[in-house]
Chains A and B, each alone.
Chain A
Amino acid sequence: MRLWKTVLAATAVALGCSTAAFAARTDLVLGMVLEPPHLDPTAGAAAAIREVTYANIFEGLTRIGPNGEVLPDLAESWTISEDGKVYTFKLHTGVKFHDGTDFDASDVKFSLDRARAEDSQNAQKQLFAAIDTVDVVDPATIKVTLKQPQGSFLYNMGWGDAVIVAPESAETNKEKPIGTGPFKFQNWAKGSSVTLVKSDSYWGDPAFLDKAEFRFIPDASAAVPAMLSGDVQAFPNMPTSDSLSQFQSDPRFKVVVGSTEGETILAMNNGKPPFDQPKVRQAISYALDRKAIIDGASEGLGQPIGSHMSPSSKDYVDLTGTYPHDPAKAKELLKEAGLANGTKVTLKLPPPPYARLGGEIIASQLRGVGIEAEIIPVEWAQWLDQVFTKKDYDLTIVSHVEPNDIGIYARKDYYFNYQNPEFTKVIEDLDATADEGKRKELLGKAQKTLADDAVVGFLFELPKVGVWDAKIEGLWQNQPVPANDLTKVKWND
């Protein structure tokens, strides 16, 4: 009797398994290191907010595709006036927010006006700085008039900070995000996970997944067993690279290395002696051995850069040869600059491994040319306070992850303390130029100027290392903007 029960149970289990095998899985648990502070991308800079909501919950007029291209999103098409100042967007109709309210041009006007308002909490207010007026033409048409032509306007509207929200839910999006995307928010177990489910009322192609959970795993050493045990099936930004080989040799997993928009640099305080002398900055650039830094700080996966532009950008100019690794030349320049052998400087390092690991290598390379760099580890809050805001630093290592952000070098009062009117002019011209050919030329010039001036030590483009179940497809290889776009993700079994 006992035996029969066991046999029956075993058969039932076997049958259960085989039926499950016919239908592909429609759920996914995705690991992330940092938990978002809240879920409103229009009111905070944290990348983790976008990594949950971008393209999944919230949508903009345009969106950025997997390779950084601008794609239509809530706007199905647009026209641009002759003078490049008036953008008229034709919107999709029949679009609903997740709470059932209708989406139309008035929501677009509300969102853009809110983002650029005086008391806006938008972390990227400069994206909207060129906008003069936003007018509703009819429910399906919106007209945006700019103060001056802006070449990057359509791209800007694709950022997570420029998504369209509804006046009814804008104030509560931090806790309960309501967007127009293919997934709707279901639950946020604070400290643990955010769960999204497929939206049945989505206007576009429905998602393949029924349910997606973003699970927050802060500890790098916990991420590996979470993947190995199958609790988590995808880690698009795997925190440890030293355990990669273990996944590479395991057929259950795919390891996908792509690029980000993160220019990793050794920033130098251009406003503080001795770094105000171009010769000293050039000497430091000569002293850096990028190959060794990339091997040590990014497992050899980063791509070398010679200026502030991603190698995957169409406007990229290879300037890595401007200051090749040449310690003898570095010493010579330092001598000419009158810098004593053994000069002491500080090197402040934020927490990410690229900075902490890279910092040790750079300190030893600088020691080789007679500069004693004292390493000071800091946490993010300290870094933002001391280095970024108060500019109290000599050297620091950081990755600038915003896309197409070469303009930061033209900002007044930025922490580099770099002032070059010629460069500022190039950026101003660039901002007012929409013509692709002209822009490419200006961007080339901007890159060349930064490289020649050795404003900072240009190190490498931060790689994106993703690990996921070999049966999953549709996740992004590269990271042109912070996002975990699940709209095309599916199980292949």
Chain B
Amino acid sequence: MTAYLLKRVAIALATLVLASIVVFAVLEILPGDPARLMLGMNASAEQVEQVRTQMGLNDPLLLRYFHWIGNLVVLDFGRSYTYSVPVIDLVRERVAVSLPLALIALALSTLIAIPVGLYAASRQGRFGDTVSMGVSQIGVAIPNFWFALLLIYLFAVWLKWVPAGGFPGWSAGIWPALKALILPAIALALPQAAILARVTRQALIEVLSEDYIRTARAKGMPYRAVLWRHALRNAMIPVLTILGLQFAFLLAGTIIIENVFYLPGLGRLIFQAITQRDLIVVESVVMLLVTTVILVNLLVDFSYAVVDPRLRGRS
């Protein structure tokens, strides 16, 4: 057990280091000069050069990499070139939007997907299965930004139940803030739920054909109890794997969804920072997201051990 966990942690750390090199290198190769972007077309070359020096962009490459990493380790994320405020302040404001959004979406997609998957698996090949899987096929196929626009036209423009976009801030009260997150969360969750439901169904169907299920049924255990106690638990590993992967997709999805709903979240921050070549913000926020994704996957790895006693015994 301990060896298994230690190995997972070591892999996670190595992934982080690799990711930091890739992120830094990609942004280094990316054409575009933050100083020129800031000063625009009318500034002279000398002036641009001067601002580059002020920003520290003229330092040697390796120096800048280690400077950045060294600061990240002590949780100093640097200062934004464009906003000229500490990146951590920007991140803190944005996490307050993106994290609740991602969690609501994750909860929604799980709450929808698992019952649907269970239902479909228990009626395999019958009408209910065909309908729910047909609907989920559509869910998989629909791009989330398009689905988002449909939701906006229906609930904001036509019914006027919720605003068409924007975020009033948590200071405006829990309900107004939640109201602003409902449509984006649904737009994010439904396509994910569709995938998750299909995976759940598939995993359950495989488990349901196992010998021990037949044994359980043969000893007179009710079907429902078999489904919940034996089948679902054993089908959890693929479901958890997909759930972990989906968290990364959710974070990526927020970049698009936050732009469609103009929410001031992390996704929007990255998007703006890339177009403005605010390299330090991009680097730091991407690393933060990478860390989050790795942590979530680490959690998933740990939860395998909880779900599957065989993994616990392995040492």
Query: A residues within 8 Å of B by Cβ?
Result: 35, 37-38, 44-46, 119-121, 123-126, 174-175, 189-193, 215-219, 221-222, 225-226, 228-229, 231, 379-382, 384-386, 388-389, 400, 402, 413
Q: Does the CB pair A228–B32 fall under 8 Å?
A: no
Chain A residues within 8 Å of B166, by CB? 192-193, 215, 226, 231
**B312 located at the interface, meaning its Cβ lies under 8 Å from any Cβ of chain A in the complex:** no
The reply to whether A385 and B32 form a contact with Cβ atoms under 8 Å apart is: yes
- Chain A neighbourhood of B260, CB < 8 A: 219, 221-222
The A contact surface, by secondary structure, is: loop
User: In the complex the two chains form, is B169's CB within 8 Å of A125's CB?
Assistant: no
CB neighbours of A124 from chain B (8 A): 42-43
Min CB distance A44 to B, Å, is: 5
Q: Which residues of A contact B156 (CB under 8 A)?
A: 225, 229, 231
- Closest residue of A by beta carbon distance from B148: A222
**Seed contacts A174-B84, A225-B157, A389-B36; 13 additional CB < 8 Å A-B pairs:** A120-B47, A125-B44, A174-B83, A190-B264, A192-B166, A219-B260, A225-B152, A225-B164, A229-B163, A231-B166, A381-B33, A384-B37, A385-B33
Q: Which residues of B contact A (CB under 8 A)?
A: 30-33, 36-45, 47-48, 50-51, 82-85, 90, 93-94, 149, 152-153, 156-157, 160, 163-167, 169, 259-265, 268-269, 271-272, 275-278
List residues of chain B with CB within 8 A of the CB of A389: 33, 36, 45, 48
Minimum Cβ distance to chain B for residue A311 (Å): 22
Instruction: For residue B95, give the distance in angstroms from its CB to the closest CB of chain A.
Output: 12
User: Could you count the A-B residue pairs with CB atoms below 8 Å apart for me: how many are there?
Assistant: 148
Report how far A121 CA is from B52 CA in the complex, Å. 11
A226 to B39 Cα, complex, angstroms: 31
C-alpha gap A389/B264 in the complex (Å): 32
CB distance from A224 to the nearest CB of B (A): 9
Most buried by B among A124, A189, A190, A193: A190
Query: Given A37-B38, A121-B39, A388-B41, A229 and B160 touching (CB < 8 A)?
Result: yes
Min Cβ gap A293→B in Å is 22
**Complex contact B82–A38 (CB within 8 A):** yes
Rounded to whole angstroms, the CA-CA distance of A231 and B42 in the bound complex is 36
What is the distance, in angstroms, from A412's C-beta to the closest C-beta of chain B?
10
Q: When the two chains form their complex, are residues B262 and A192 in contact, meaning their CB atoms are under 8 A apart? A: yes
**Nearest 4 Cβ contacts at the A-B interface:** A45-B40, A381-B32, A191-B264, A37-B82
Residues in A neighbouring B43, C-beta threshold 8 A: 45, 123-125
Roughly how many angstroms separate A189 CA and B94 CA in the complex, as a whole number? Answer: 10
CB distance from B49 to the nearest CB of A (A): 11
Residues of B within 8 A of A216 (CB): 262
Contact yes or no, B90 A190, CB < 8 A: yes
Chain A residue nearest to B276 in the complex (CB): A37
Residues of A within 8 A of B276 (CB): 37, 381
Chain B residues with Cβ below 8 Å from A231 are 156, 163-166
Q: Identify the closest chain B residue to A120 (Cβ).
A: B47
A-B CB contact pairs (8 Å), 21 listed: A37-B276, A37-B278, A38-B83, A45-B39, A125-B47, A126-B42, A174-B83, A175-B85, A189-B264, A215-B166, A222-B149, A222-B165, A225-B149, A225-B152, A225-B156, A225-B164, A226-B166, A231-B163, A379-B275, A382-B31, A385-B31
Query: Given that A37-B82, A191-B265, A381-B32 are known contacts, is A225 also in contact with B153, CB under 8 Å in the complex?
Result: yes
* Complex: A264 Cα to B163 Cα, angstroms: 36
Residue of A nearest to B273 (CB): A37
Residues of chain B lying within 8 A (CB to CB) of residue A402: 41-42
Report yes or no: B157 in contact with A121, Cβ–Cβ below 8 A: no
